[in-house]
Amino acid sequence: MRDGAVSYEACEAAKSVARGPWTVDYVRLLGRAGEEALPELRKYARSRTDLIRAEAVYGLVRADAEQGEAIARKIVHDRSEPVEARIAALRGLADRGSIVARVEALRQLNAEEAPLQLEAIEILARAPSESDVRYLIDVVGQADGRVQSDAVALLQKITGYRIGADARSWRYFFVKHESEGTA
């Protein structure tokens, strides 16, 4: 039952036992129930519990054919939203195959929150592109820890170079290839 749709009737049957820590799982099921669950998901999207809110946001973004993308973009850019909800909105955009998912991921590389940056790098890694290189070099120069390591790994995957966490070297080779017109 980890993948695929779930009937809304099954979710309603589970609602009576969805208390405390199991509420998150219940909301996750609602997210897989489709458009019938949208009113219930909207209610949980206002929850004060960050994980419940994040699951509801992800479900809304994925299930709402008309407003899902707009909901995601609003939440991703709202710094007052918990980081979990912002990550869920960004992941929802990518999982629904939105054409703006890549753009939003590139924007979130400059986020202050490391988990949001990691999600953005993961989304970019799904379909690496040479056009991402300049943005990833900036991440290598500004970030540290896992964010920097993941950015370096993606740069290495895209370019084939094994430079490491030295942004100056990455910039040198980027400018060199750009001026020579080589890939």
Residue 171 clears pLDDT 80, i.e. is over it: yes
Residue 183 clears pLDDT 80, i.e. is over it: no
* Whole-number Å distance between alpha carbons of 163 and 157: 11
Which tokens hold the place of 79? 């710094």
What pLDDT score does 2 carry? 56
* Whole-number Å distance between alpha carbons of 170 and 141: 9
pTM of the model as a whole: 0.89
What pLDDT score does 1 carry? 44
